[in-house]
Structure 1
Amino acid sequence: MGIQPTNAGIDFQQRVSAWFIICMLFEVDIENVLNLNINSSIKDITFESNDKIDDLVITSNNNKKIYMQMKRTINLSENEGSEFYSVCQQFVNQYLQNDIDDFAYILVTSKNSSNNISETLRRLLEGIRISNSFSITKEFNKNEQDVFRKIDRVIKQIYLDSTGKEIAEKILLEILRRTYVEIFDIENGQSYEKVVKLYLYNKINVDVNLFWSFMIKMALQLASARQTLNKKYLDKKFEDYLKKHKESNGNNELISIIGQFDSLEVRKDYILVLQNQQIDLLFNLKNEIQDSNKLYLIELFRFNEVGKKELRYEEPYFLTLTNGIKLELVYRSATAKGIERFISSKEYKDRFEEYDVVYIGSNDSDDENQFEKIHNDLLLKYLNEKSNCLCSNCGKAIFQEDSLLIEIDNDNCEADIGIIHKECLIPVNRVLGIAKMPSDREYKFLKNFDINLWIKQIKDGQFCYNGAKILNQSVNPLVVETDTNNLVLGSYCVKTLLEDGTYKFATRRGNIDRYSKKDAEDFVNELNEKIKTGQIEKNPICYSSKSFIFGNYTTLVSQLGGTEEYIECKKSEVVKYNESIAKLHNKCKNFYTPLIYLVIDEKPLIVNDMFPLFTNPLELNGYLDNFEKVNIKIKEYQVAIIRDDKEFCLTIMNLMNQGIRPIIDIKFGKNNEIIQGYVVHTMYEMMLIHEMKMQKN
């Protein structure tokens, strides 16, 4: 057992535990939540186990064990009485159990922990895993060397105390390769808790907040009783809450939302069509109704005696019968109930309230056709292969309560099944029923928002705003490097030595920039000239100590004030690029994205020649309220995602060429002035402005 946790620490631990219970319930792949290469979901979870690492033990479906020690806050310390020393002791002692199924020892903490733990140690351990040797430690800067020496000394001392032997380098490497640091900002109202709730939104049919609160209490009870929870028990416990999901494949988002089907209605089509004189003659209906305000409701068998579909549908609204008569469709349903529902709808009444409906039935048969059974099985196969919750017609995410489950069956498309927005329905779509989506008022403003895409992209994205949020101004310029050329894969990079003995690499969008040897040398010469000029003018080139913003001292002080220290750059040099160094220093996959924006009538929302984008979908309602206060009223819209930096750069270049300025997280004051936001400029634009100023001077 380690040091006794505080109440805040207990709450943090149970929140993390509750999240992993949810992951087990919905069969989320572990590697989608943790930075582990394991490719498996969770089989069972043990709370406060008898293992050396005891807070939480996860067993995967491939029988690998993941041990977690939770510390809401923790500092790097060699003191034997420190929490860090205690955690390392648990990790070493667990290793000494020689359990062949041990996969990872994880220190789970939050951003409240020291930067040496949450950032530096986390990156160092990742670098050691990638290189699979200690050779990478030669590339560590002064602070990284100091962090490594501390954990190195602590583990060596613990191993000696536990075994009476000096630790072999091979064993030390193996312990560090199994050691991970994972960050969860999951406390009340924090970013990761919002992600958890957003994930639950389309997974449950009860209130999200109540369900999340219940899971946290459940985790506390399990920990108090030191119990093990398995997937089978969890499914049974929640079958009433999740009855639509209990048989679903965890990788099948569509099935997890609309539920599992044993069969579908495939035998007949119930079609509503406009008046046709040929139909009048065929069914001797010419005296039925004298005026033209007439609709036919026709019941048709789909398969003939040899299993052939003889009804020929063409997009968007035509049906050709076996006798060659061509009809114009209004609606197509798999059931009579579906037609009745449409006829009672507002849409029908708005268009056809003055129309009379003539019913034309078919000779019914109770004998199931073997071809109908085969077609039913085929549709179920297609349905179970669906991996996302996107509209089959427009391709956009579905985030509304009532959508339509349809079969796609016409001459223009391959056979398929899926869900669509109600407004995306075309008459040839064969409506199978209503797909009821769970609702939660808290998130209703996220219309057609692709939750799963956002969760996937946000994990390693939006790095640039971490530094930008530190700046003193409410309105900040955001200079974007719009070079989308990914073909430059030089073998060299640029390293700058700082006065404290550490170093920084030149980066582009959060990752080490790669150059040809000549370009690297030219850039180094330019940097060293700036460093020399700054020293002469007593305005040195620096990096800020926390956010690592680069610039001259005067500029950094004006932007950051006294919130950070400023570390002077001493010299830049060309070094060879290698993947281990990149893994150690690369910050993200996407620097600017993901971002969301609003779409109205299939076009991006533009406000006074400005393109509003937003970093946090959960805060969108606040921005919409702000817009309304300055008389910018937005009613019918969809929420779209810019998923990566390449799409972002292409989008903003296109808009800026039209004179439209992108602004991220924009808010307006009472006089319609901008009072908050990141005003986007391209690097090329800023260079032109600089050149114009130089010419004037």
Structure 2
Amino acid sequence: MPVVRMGARCTVVELESSNMTGGGAATNSGIDFQARVGALALVSMLTDVADLGSFGLGQDGDVPLEVHFETADAVDDIALVLPRGRILIQAKNTVTLSSSVDSELGKVIRQIVAAYHEHRESGQYILAVSPFASARIRQDLKKLCNSYRLNQAGHSSNPLNQRENETLKAIREHIFREYEVISGSRCDVDIFVAILKATHIETLDIGENSIGERMAVTALSTVTDSEPMVMWRGLVATCLTLARNRMSIDQAGLTARFGALLPVKRSRSDSFPRPDDHQPALTLEGKVSMGREVVLGEDEDGRTYLAELRRFDDDGTRRVRFTGGFVDLSGGVRWRVLRRTATYSGMARELEDELATQISGEIVVIDADFGDIDDTPFAQAHAAGYQAVIEAATDPLTCLVCGCTISQDRAHSVEVDDVDHPYQVGLVHRHCLRPMHRIIGVVKAEAFAATPSLIDFDYKTWINQMRGGQGIWRSSRGSGNAGLLRVGWNPRNSGGTTGGWAVEYDLSDGTSRYVLVRGRVHRGNRRQAQQMAGQLSSSASEAAIKGDPMVYGLRGYSKRSIAVCADDPNPPEVVTHRAVQITEATVSAHSTSENYYAPLFYLSDHETGELFTMGEAPVLLTDPLRFEDVVANWCLAGVELPALISTTIVPTDHDFDLFMMRADSEGRAACVDPILEPVGGLISGFLVANFNEITKK
């Protein structure tokens, strides 16, 4: 393996203060944004790894039965029909705070109030906006709605700053006015609170190359063997057509429309492959062969035999005994088991795949004609028991041997049925298959064939962690940073913060923000917040005197010399800092990331468990869909990879901190998304090291 040169010139990223930016193009039309929101709902209908909760369009586990566009409802952009009721969505790419009756916000409030008047307690309304919408909506209005859901007293027990009070005043005027017009009666405080409690503000970053689009494409990659981006664009185009024609679509219609791209689509209640006598897919249907054993074995003299054996005696006992890697036959004959299947066709497939290359000499075939022994009472009873076990499986894509997730084409469905182990049925990786496993069938999963190196990747966990994650990697790329970047990981921030106070700062453009650490509002007690506000004010004054004032831009809170870039040439200057009271609603509305670093995944040798490194640096990756391309780049640079690669997801920032603590204790930095020159030098990616060590240098 070549020595990977880590000494290239790097850009220093002030990691702990950077903010998230909206991915994708800066301009998306309203209708395109609406179509993309609808397409997220369709993704949840098509895949098992994502639901409406994954995208912020409902609760965890919610999957729509139907999606309606341009409906007759008051909130009319999108209606999601669920088993528990309906969710009405108004999608606005950009919307600003305004007290005008005819403003975009005024119209949205009119729609929500009308919907509430019609549905009362049963309504749930989502105002979905892009990152380009006003912070007054994305943050202030979201905080107000969250405040009333968390506490009936709402803002009376939740402190508001001047900007939030202005937002509250404008929203209150809209709601009181519209309710009186629609209902003919005056609005009271209880109705006002009920309307805000039923309203959810969700910021969806779903433009081109955004985090939301990456989540959707990753989810689709698990159900199609075609390019998942093509399917995503097809879903968006479908939603555009449905909206234009004021139509709806259900599960059957969606599957019919995209059936050609869904060779492995399965219902949510089905989880296992069909047996050998059916076309392989990800469902288990029809009769399973339970009456026979087809064994490829080797005797003590090295001769190889293939025999079909009757599995059950007339009283239901097993006629053949499997133990210790051997099968015991009548007359004291014993073979070492080379492979064991449920049918002859299954054994033929195994021989065609790779098994024949492991056998030297001829195979002696012992013919037998047992008729249809699968119809015998004990075979049928065993088949029924088998079916009951697989239907009760809660996590069917977990390998019975290694316990890892299966993301591999042509994995085996097996029975573990021998003297030495408890009875089990389920799936195993191809490399985890053991000779004593009784093979029922294979999982033909062409979607996994597109990423053959990712054999145990947990897509469901990945999708669930993606929303609100990877704040640093998104903000660094979105702010125009390119090439090799050095980022500072601060172990002091690993514990998170609590408290009812934070630091707010005003900007020269009239807006205000909270101090964030790892994309979260930094909390503390009153004294801590006052000390931090004083320290930041002093630092800002010193920076201004030196002609390099503190500003806030795409690269977050930083000096102007660091913040200015082509996409953000004039970021507003920081004016004042102050300690302010906050609540949980403040944190929820103004935080930009649930996880600043995570999710990521790292690699290890499947056989030895050894961590994969480059130049002593452990490697972490941010996108499973780019994995094959990244691996190809490494191979061209002469990097040697393990024959079988295992992946481990780092799901949360807490897990990332533990990972970095181990690396830091060994004096090592981590390398994220490395791309190499042909001679092995790093030309792109992130080098993550202890922030304190970087500042010392």
**Aligned mate of 1:368, from 372, 375, 382:** 375
After TM superposition, the score normalised by the length of structure 1 is 0.81
For residues 367 and 465 of structure 1, what CA distance do their matches in structure 2 show? 56
| Amino acid in the other structure paired with 1:229 | I
8 Å Cα contact 2:78-2:89 kept in structure 1: yes
For residues 520 and 557 of structure 2, what CA distance do their matches in structure 1 show? 15
What corresponds to 1:528 in structure 2? 534
Question: Where does 1:59-70 land on structure 2 (aligned, <5 Å)?
Answer: 59-62=81-84, 64-70=85-91
Q: Does 1:298 align with 2:318?
A: no
| Amino acid in the other structure paired with 1:87 | V
Question: Where does 1:476-487 land on structure 2 (aligned, <5 Å)?
Answer: 476-482=485-491
Larger relative contact order (Cα-Cα within 8 Å, sequence gap ≥ 6)? 2
Say which SS state the counterpart of residue 268 (structure 2) adopts.
coil
| Amino acid in the other structure paired with 1:56 | I
Greater CA drift, 429-438 or 161-170 = 161-170
Q: Does 1:181 align with 2:201?
A: yes
What corresponds to 1:591 in structure 2? 596
**Aligned mate of 2:162, from 138, 142, 154:** 142
Q: Does 1:111 align with 2:115?
A: no
- Deviation digits for residues 345-394 of structure 1, max 9, x if unmatched? 3x333321324335274866747343332322222233232435333322
What corresponds to 1:264 in structure 2? 288
Q: Does 1:92 align with 2:113?
A: yes
- Deviation digits for residues 66-102 of structure 1, max 9, x if unmatched? 1122223333333334322222221122222245542
For residues 565 and 237 of structure 2, what CA distance do their matches in structure 1 show? 47
For residues 467 and 245 of structure 1, what CA distance do their matches in structure 2 show? 35
Q: Does 1:404 align with 2:423?
A: no
- With over 3 angstroms needed to count, the CA separation of the structure-2 counterparts of 1:95 and 1:261, relative to structure 1, is same
Say which SS state the counterpart of residue 614 (structure 2) adopts.
coil
For residues 251 and 480 of structure 1, what CA distance do their matches in structure 2 show? 43
For residues 387 and 195 of structure 1, what CA distance do their matches in structure 2 show? 22
| Amino acid in the other structure paired with 2:634 | F
| Amino acid in the other structure paired with 2:41 | F
For residues 48 and 497 of structure 1, what CA distance do their matches in structure 2 show? 40
What corresponds to 1:419 in structure 2? 427
- With over 3 angstroms needed to count, the CA separation of the structure-2 counterparts of 1:484 and 1:266, relative to structure 1, is farther
Say which SS state the counterpart of residue 87 (structure 1) adopts.
helix
8 Å Cα contact 1:68-1:108 kept in structure 2: yes
Give how far 1:212 is off: 4.3
| Amino acid in the other structure paired with 2:436 | V
- With over 3 angstroms needed to count, the CA separation of the structure-2 counterparts of 1:211 and 1:521, relative to structure 1, is closer
Q: Does 1:380 align with 2:387?
A: yes
Question: Where does 1:205-220 land on structure 2 (aligned, <5 Å)?
Answer: 208=228, 211-220=231-240
8 Å Cα contact 1:494-1:505 kept in structure 2: no
What corresponds to 2:141 in structure 1? 121
What corresponds to 2:671 in structure 1? 663
8 Å Cα contact 2:264-2:445 kept in structure 1: no
- With over 3 angstroms needed to count, the CA separation of the structure-2 counterparts of 1:388 and 1:143, relative to structure 1, is farther
After TM superposition, the score normalised by the length of structure 2 is 0.81
- With over 3 angstroms needed to count, the CA separation of the structure-2 counterparts of 1:211 and 1:556, relative to structure 1, is closer
8 Å Cα contact 1:475-1:676 kept in structure 2: yes
For residues 441 and 602 of structure 2, what CA distance do their matches in structure 1 show? 31
What corresponds to 1:645 in structure 2? 653
Give how far 1:330 is off: 1.0
8 Å Cα contact 1:543-1:551 kept in structure 2: yes
Q: Does 1:155 align with 2:164?
A: no
Say which SS state the counterpart of residue 65 (structure 2) adopts.
strand
Give how far 1:548 is off: 8.1
Q: Does 1:83 align with 2:91?
A: no
Q: Does 1:632 align with 2:656?
A: no
Give how far 1:452 is off: 1.9
Q: Runs of 5+ in structure 1 lacking a partner?
A: 1-5, 277-291
Greater CA drift, 43-52 or 438-447 = 438-447
8 Å Cα contact 2:271-2:283 kept in structure 1: no
8 Å Cα contact 2:89-2:127 kept in structure 1: yes
What corresponds to 2:618 in structure 1? 611
For residues 207 and 475 of structure 2, what CA distance do their matches in structure 1 show? 22
For residues 640 and 587 of structure 1, what CA distance do their matches in structure 2 show? 25
Question: Where does 1:288-687 land on structure 2 (aligned, <5 Å)?
Answer: 292-309=301-318, 311-314=320-323, 317-320=325-328, 327-345=335-353, 347-359=354-366, 361=368, 366=373, 368-384=375-391, 385-439=393-447, 446-469=454-477, 470=479, 474-482=483-491, 492-499=499-506, 509-512=518-521, 521=527, 524-525=530-531, 528-529=534-535, 531-532=537-538, 535=541, 544-546=551-553, 549-550=556-557, 562=569, 564-572=571-579, 579-601=584-606, 602-632=609-639, 634=641, 636=643, 637-669=645-677, 672-683=680-691, 685=693
- With over 3 angstroms needed to count, the CA separation of the structure-2 counterparts of 1:32 and 1:496, relative to structure 1, is closer
8 Å Cα contact 1:615-1:665 kept in structure 2: yes
The number of equivalent residue pairs is 657
- Deviation digits for residues 484-509 of structure 1, max 9, x if unmatched? 986x986x354224345987666554
- With over 3 angstroms needed to count, the CA separation of the structure-2 counterparts of 1:90 and 1:181, relative to structure 1, is same
| Amino acid in the other structure paired with 1:303 | F
8 Å Cα contact 1:89-1:158 kept in structure 2: yes
For residues 323 and 177 of structure 1, what CA distance do their matches in structure 2 show? 77
Say which SS state the counterpart of residue 666 (structure 1) adopts.
strand
- With over 3 angstroms needed to count, the CA separation of the structure-2 counterparts of 1:26 and 1:654, relative to structure 1, is closer
| Amino acid in the other structure paired with 1:105 | Y
8 Å Cα contact 2:291-2:373 kept in structure 1: no
- With over 3 angstroms needed to count, the CA separation of the structure-2 counterparts of 1:239 and 1:611, relative to structure 1, is closer
- With over 3 angstroms needed to count, the CA separation of the structure-2 counterparts of 1:553 and 1:439, relative to structure 1, is closer
Q: CA RMSD in A?
A: 4.0
Structure 1 vs Structure 2: percent identity of aligned residues?
A: 21
- With over 3 angstroms needed to count, the CA separation of the structure-2 counterparts of 1:8 and 1:496, relative to structure 1, is closer
Give how far 1:552 is off: 6.5
8 Å Cα contact 2:552-2:563 kept in structure 1: no
Q: Does 1:274 align with 2:280?
A: no
| Amino acid in the other structure paired with 1:121 | L
**Aligned mate of 1:71, from 70, 92, 104:** 92
- Deviation digits for residues 3-50 of structure 1, max 9, x if unmatched? xxx994333333332442443455864334335348543233332222
8 Å Cα contact 1:613-1:665 kept in structure 2: yes
8 Å Cα contact 1:273-1:296 kept in structure 2: yes
Give how far 1:432 is off: 0.9
| Amino acid in the other structure paired with 2:268 | N
Say which SS state the counterpart of residue 602 (structure 2) adopts.
strand
- Deviation digits for residues 613-645 of structure 1, max 9, x if unmatched? 222233334534543454436584454422222
- With over 3 angstroms needed to count, the CA separation of the structure-2 counterparts of 1:136 and 1:627, relative to structure 1, is farther
8 Å Cα contact 2:551-2:559 kept in structure 1: no
For residues 596 and 8 of structure 1, what CA distance do their matches in structure 2 show? 35
Q: Runs of 5+ in structure 2 lacking a partner?
A: 1-26, 275-279
For residues 669 and 213 of structure 1, what CA distance do their matches in structure 2 show? 33
8 Å Cα contact 1:398-1:449 kept in structure 2: yes
Give how far 1:426 is off: 1.1
Say which SS state the counterpart of residue 97 (structure 1) adopts.
helix
For residues 208 and 535 of structure 2, what CA distance do their matches in structure 1 show? 49
What corresponds to 1:249 in structure 2? 268
8 Å Cα contact 1:201-1:438 kept in structure 2: no
